[in-house]
């Protein structure tokens, strides 16, 4: 559809969508149709001068090319000519930065692991007392050399952030870590030079290694979620076709102005808000409204940025708002504002860290003074206190459990984005569920077929399927999979959801029909009729389909004693039908995005703790305002970025897995924290009294951390209960 | 135990080499994408 790629060569646009790699540039492209390694090989084959890095999972390619050799438009044209469809992903300059961060993390972890193992090996000689006199110093100098890259290179992020916090007078959780690493390292180095006293290089390396591992696991989960969010960029066009006096021209979307008239082809997205100039067409507005059902827009009606033209012909749109003034931008802004409400908890964590570090320092000074007066080993005591109070086990207690829980949840197809959400889940008493796209799936189901003329049912269905073939619409998906053998000529779509075309020489049309008189409540039902010329030949009944596992999931949530509430932007009767099928009594229908936000705010103001489940951009404010939020992976990408957890498998049963894993995580975090606190509380007096030597303190700290980590790993064990994870599609009873 | 005087420097050298190789591999992007390889066909 988009044969003109020339606008991508515009220097301003090029600067925005690609990044410079010396002489070459790199751009991120989502290539539709890229399914296997053979496809990738073919793509590499048609682009000899381009370096292609393809990721099959997300269908994205990083293309690096030399702008002097060939312009980007030629490359895109070549990709399209070879049967793929390229979508340039814009505004994604941090992609390369992400990769650099990940690589740096890996390098640091590798160094900590390799050198740390050697330090531990040499230190074990000390533990077992097998060192002959005189070799002591050799082993210590060797440990010093080996521990230096671990402390200074692998531990650099902790040192940097921790000391920066300390210097700014606002210590973070990294501050005690940085302090412990620094003091233990410097004291060990000093003792090595002096040849007396203990060395704690082993504690330094284990500390850095364990913390790096925990942090990397957390980081990876977050990066995965961010990657999925980027797919949103693919739906917003970067280039638009503008109508001019001579015909049309292709311009960058950023250059559009109000009152420009655009030509939006079938299947293309509208880049800015406008009003329709053509007679009528159907638009997929799910990115704005979250409701999958297409909407018919007539002349002079508003068209929102991000909606997709589902009609069979190009339409003309006169722009009314561009860029930051569009509805789409406004909704994302709303989501961001709501998200900011939550940062208070982070402040709390930092407050606690400040008191903690103050207490640790006070204790160390106290121990030093005490032993000084008693003529004991004052420095040893102060160090023992610092090592023993080192919040190692304490700071590992939660992150290791959350990291293990992330892996455990991934098995249930749940992606955890914000680890803390797991620990807040037990407070939840109300669950707000979105309807369309969350409780129901995006396609309708063919429930009944009544042949009304000479044509048998199977033939009617085939003809209907052929007419609907290739249309992306919940109704069309109900017929998908049939009629592949029939050819349709002169296919055209009619306003209101009808389709017409010629099959085997006869003119057919499939039109929406009203309910049969006396058919009762239309709960989730839609009717369509197949016409051959003026004759009605069949009548189809379609029904909205509950997402598979929706009932199991809703029942399990109710069993947990949670209040369920359905929030829907849909008309009231449609919401009632779905609510009745699932046994949800509290139903709020006809809600706009800000109504949903207000509802969640109100519930929270009443003292409820709210879990929101939704998809679509209109749910993003809802998700951000709730205490804990869950997004659906099949929904619009932005909603996912606001979910604390994301259900990847399209299965709502992930929700009960989330609650189950959260309960186990909470139990383990409690055990870990209890152990770490008890350990510190009992060991501090021992260290203060000078009974505990620093190396014993370090050994204790190391095993304490190990215990906490191993306890967290218990979360990875397969859960004992085997609940039904899968169940067939459910339908709404009429 | 005097063999340690040789063995420790050797271990220092070896572990530095291993770290250098690892850093090289990371920089060349060997670990950038661990999901792609499972999609490869045996003849590639």
Whole-angstrom distance, CA of residue A649 vs CA of residue A642: 18
- Tally Cβ neighbours within 10 Å of residue A450: 12
* Buried residues in A527-547 as b, exposed as e (16+ CB within 10 A): bbbbbbeeeebbbbbbbbbbb
Query: Which has the closest alpha carbon to A473: A267, A310, A264?
Result: A310
Within 8 A of B17 by CB-CB distance, chain A residues are: none
Least confident among A229-243, A606-620, A719-733: A719-733
Q: What is the pTM of this model?
A: 0.55
Residue B44, pLDDT above cutoff 70: no
The larger pLDDT score, comparing residue A229 to residue B39, is at B39
> Each residue of A284-307: pLDDT tens digit?
776 665 555 677 888 888 887 878
The larger pLDDT score, comparing residue B13 to residue A455, is at B13
CA torsion through residues A325, A328, A329, A334, sign? positive
Comparing alpha-carbon positions, the chain B residue that sits nearest to A113 is B19
φ and ψ at A24, to 5 degrees? Answer: -90, 170
Per-residue confidence at A521, pLDDT binned at 50, 70, 90?
A: very low
CB-nearest to B4 from A41, A53, A135 is: A135
* Buried residues in A639-665 as b, exposed as e (16+ CB within 10 A): bbbbbbbbbbbbbbbbbbbbbbbbebb
- Tally Cβ neighbours within 10 Å of residue A214: 21
Query: Which has the closest alpha carbon to A725: A431, A412, A439, A437?
Result: A412
Whole-angstrom distance, CA of residue A638 vs CA of residue B41: 34
Q: What is the pLDDT of residue A518?
A: 42
B10 to chain A nearest CA, in Å? 11
The larger pLDDT score, comparing residue A346 to residue A704, is at A704
Determine the average pLDDT of the residues in A509-535. 68
Comparing alpha-carbon positions, the chain B residue that sits nearest to A35 is B39
Within 8 A of B33 by CB-CB distance, chain A residues are: 53, 55
DSSP string, A279-296: SEEEEE-HHHH---S-EE
Q: What is the pLDDT of residue B37?
A: 63
Pairing of strands A315-321, A273-276: antiparallel
Within 8 A of B12 by CB-CB distance, chain A residues are: 118, 142, 145-146
Determine the average pLDDT of the residues in A125-135. 78
> Each residue of A529-546: pLDDT tens digit?
888 888 888 888 877 777
Range B25-34 contact pairs with CB under 8 angstroms and sequence separation of 24 or more: B26/A103, B26/A106, B26/A107, B26/A110, B27/A103, B27/A107, B29/A53, B29/A103, B31/A103, B31/A106, B32/A99, B32/A102, B32/A103, B33/A53, B33/A55
> What rounded mean pLDDT belongs to chain A?
75
Within 8 A of B3 by CB-CB distance, chain A residues are: none
Per-residue confidence at A231, pLDDT binned at 50, 70, 90?
A: very low
> Each residue of A449-485: pLDDT tens digit?
888 888 888 888 888 888 877 665 556 767 766 655 6
* Collapsed DSSP state (helix, strand, coil) of residue A687: helix
Q: What is the largest CA-CA distance in chain B?
A: 53
Within 8 A of A99 by CB-CB distance, chain B residues are: 32
Residue A235, pLDDT above cutoff 70: no
CB-nearest to A99 from B12, B32, B41 is: B32
Residue A233, pLDDT above cutoff 50: no
Comparing alpha-carbon positions, the chain B residue that sits nearest to A98 is B32
Determine the average pLDDT of the residues in A141-163. 91
Q: What is the pLDDT of residue A335?
A: 45
Q: How far is Cα of residue A387 from the mean position of the Cα atoms in its chain?
A: 38
Pairing of strands A525-532, A488-494: unpaired
* Collapsed DSSP state (helix, strand, coil) of residue A4: coil
Give the range with max mean pLDDT: A13-27, A129-143, A217-231.
A129-143
B39 to chain A nearest CA, in Å? 7
Per-residue confidence at A346, pLDDT binned at 50, 70, 90?
A: very low
Determine the average pLDDT of the residues in A402-429. 77
Q: What is the pLDDT of residue A129?
A: 75
Per-residue confidence at A513, pLDDT binned at 50, 70, 90?
A: confident
Return the residue matching tokens 């095993």. A703
> Each residue of A631-669: pLDDT tens digit?
876 544 444 456 777 776 667 888 888 899 999 988 988
Residue A516, pLDDT above cutoff 60: no
Tokens of A173: 């959780």
B7 to chain A nearest CA, in Å? 11
Within 8 A of B36 by CB-CB distance, chain A residues are: 54-57
The larger pLDDT score, comparing residue A231 to residue A198, is at A198
Residue A252, pLDDT above cutoff 60: yes
B26·A38 Cβ contact <8 A: no
Per-residue confidence at A87, pLDDT binned at 50, 70, 90?
A: confident
B36 to chain A nearest CA, in Å? 6
Residue A341, pLDDT above cutoff 50: no
Tokens of A434: 């979105």
* Collapsed DSSP state (helix, strand, coil) of residue A530: strand
Residue A273 bridge partners (DSSP): A321
The larger pLDDT score, comparing residue A519 to residue A633, is at A633
> Each residue of A478-505: pLDDT tens digit?
776 665 567 777 777 765 567 888 888 8
Q: What is the pLDDT of residue A645?
A: 79
Per-residue confidence at A146, pLDDT binned at 50, 70, 90?
A: very high
> Each residue of A166-210: pLDDT tens digit?
787 766 666 767 877 888 899 889 989 988 877 888 878 887 887
Residue A564, pLDDT above cutoff 80: yes
* Collapsed DSSP state (helix, strand, coil) of residue A523: coil
DSSP string, A171-236: --THHHHHHHHHHHHHHHHHHHHHT-S---HHHHHHHHHHHHHHHHHHHHHHHHHHHHHTHHHHHS
Tokens of A612: 């929101």
Q: What is the pLDDT of residue A228?
A: 42
Selected for mutation to probe chain A from B18, B20, B24, B34 (highest A CB count within 10 Å) is B18
Q: What is the pLDDT of residue A165?
A: 76
Selected for mutation to probe chain B from A34, A35, A36, A37 (highest B CB count within 10 Å) is A37
Whole-angstrom distance, CA of residue A48 vs CA of residue A26: 15
Whole-angstrom distance, CA of residue A453 vs CA of residue A473: 27
Percentage above 70 pLDDT, chain A: 74
For A720, which DSSP code? S
- Tally Cβ neighbours within 10 Å of residue A219: 14
CB-nearest to B1 from A122, A135, A146 is: A135
In which element (H, E) is residue A404 found? helix A392-411
Backbone dihedral region for residue A287 (phi beyond 0: left; psi -120 to 50: alpha; all else: beta): alpha
Per-residue confidence at A68, pLDDT binned at 50, 70, 90?
A: confident
């Amino acid at each position: 559809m988009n044969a003109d790629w020339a606008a991508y060569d515009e220097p301003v646009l090029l600067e925005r969508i690609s990044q410079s790699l010396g002489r070459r540039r790199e751009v991120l492209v989502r290539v539709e149709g890229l399914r296997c390694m053979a496809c990738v090989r073919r793509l590499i084959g048609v682009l000899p001068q381009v370096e292609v890095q393809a990721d099959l999972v997300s269908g994205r390619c990083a293309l690096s090319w030399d702008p002097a050799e060939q312009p980007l438009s030629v490359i895109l044209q070549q990709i399209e000519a070879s049967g793929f469809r390229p979508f340039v992903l814009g505004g994604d300059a941090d992609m390369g930065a992400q990769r650099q961060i990940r690589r740096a993390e890996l390098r640091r972890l590798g160094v900590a692991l390799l050198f740390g193992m050697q330090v531990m090996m040499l230190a074990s000689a000390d533990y077992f007392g097998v060192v002959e006199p005189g070799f002591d110093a050799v082993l210590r100098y060797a440990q010093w050399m080996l521990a230096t890259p671990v402390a200074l290179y692998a531990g650099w992020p902790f040192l940097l952030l921790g000391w920066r916090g300390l210097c700014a007078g606002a210590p973070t959780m990294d501050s005690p870590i940085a302090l412990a690493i620094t003091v233990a390292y410097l004291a060990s180095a000093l003792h090595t030079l002096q040849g007396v006293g203990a060395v704690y290089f082993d504690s330094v390396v284990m500390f850095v290694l364990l913390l790096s591992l925990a942090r990397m696991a957390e980081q990876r989960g977050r990066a995965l979620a961010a990657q999925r969010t980027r797919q949103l960029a693919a739906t917003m066009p970067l280039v638009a076709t503008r109508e001019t006096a001579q015909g049309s021209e292709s311009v960058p979307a950023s250059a559009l102005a109000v009152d420009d008239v655009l030509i939006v082809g079938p299947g293309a997205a509208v880049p800015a808000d406008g009003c329709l100039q053509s007679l009528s067409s159907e638009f997929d507005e799910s990115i704005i409204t979250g409701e999958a059902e297409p909407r018919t827009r007539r002349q002079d009606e508003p068209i929102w940025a991000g909606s997709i033209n589902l009609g069979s012909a190009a339409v003309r749109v006169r722009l009314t708002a561009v860029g930051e003034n569009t509805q789409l931008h406004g909704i994302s802004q709303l989501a961001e504002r709501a998200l900011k409400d939550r940062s208070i908890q982070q402040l709390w964590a930092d407050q606690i860290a400040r008191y903690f570090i103050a207490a640790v320092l006070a204790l160390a000074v106290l121990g030093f003074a005490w032993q000084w007066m008693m003529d004991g080993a004052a420095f040893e005591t102060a160090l023992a206190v610092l090592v023993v109070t080192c919040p190692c086990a304490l700071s590992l207690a939660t992150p290791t459990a959350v990291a293990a829980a992330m892996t455990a949840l991934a098995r249930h197809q749940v992606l955890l984005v914000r680890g803390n959400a797991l620990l807040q889940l037990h407070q939840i008493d109300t669950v707000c569920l979105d309807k369309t796209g969350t409780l129901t799936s995006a396609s309708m189901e063919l429930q009944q077929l009544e042949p009304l003329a000479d044509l048998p049912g199977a033939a009617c269905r085939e003809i209907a399927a052929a007419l609907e073939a290739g249309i992306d619409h919940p109704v069309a998906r109900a017929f998908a999979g049939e009629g592949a053998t029939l050819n349709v000529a002169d296919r055209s779509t009619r306003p209101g959801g009808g389709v017409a075309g010629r099959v085997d020489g006869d003119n057919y049309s499939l039109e929406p029909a009203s309910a049969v008189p006396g058919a009762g409540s239309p709960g989730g039902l839609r009717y369509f009729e197949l016409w051959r010329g003026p004759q009605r030949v069949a009548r189809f009944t379609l029904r909205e389909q509950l997402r598979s596992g929706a009932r199991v999931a809703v029942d399990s949530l109710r069993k947990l004693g949670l209040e369920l509430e359905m929030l829907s932007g849909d008309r009231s009767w449609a919401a009632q039908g779905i609510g009745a099928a699932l046994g949800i009594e509290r139903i709020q229908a006809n809600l706009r995005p800000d109504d949903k936000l207000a509802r969640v705010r109100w519930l929270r103001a009443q003292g409820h703790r709210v879990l929101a489940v939704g998809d679509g951009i209109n749910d993003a404010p809802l998700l951000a305002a709730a205490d804990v939020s869950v997004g659906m992976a099949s929904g619009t990408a932005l909603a996912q970025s606001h979910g604390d957890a994301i259900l990847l498998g399209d299965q709502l049963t992930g929700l009960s897995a989330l609650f189950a894993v959260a309960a186990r995580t909470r139990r383990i975090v409690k055990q870990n924290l209890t152990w770490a606190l008890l350990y510190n509380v009992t060991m501090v007096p021992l260290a203060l009294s000078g009974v505990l030597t620093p190396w014993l303190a370090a050994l204790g700290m190391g095993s304490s951390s190990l215990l906490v980590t191993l306890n967290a790993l218990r979360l990875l064990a397969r859960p004992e209960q085997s609940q039904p994870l899968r169940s067939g599609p459910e339908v709404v009873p009429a | 135990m005097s063999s340690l005087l040789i063995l420790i420097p050797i271990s220092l050298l070896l572990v530095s080499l291993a770290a250098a190789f690892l850093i090289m591999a990371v920089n060349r992007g060997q670990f950038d994408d661990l999901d792609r390889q499972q999609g490869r066909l045996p003849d590639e």
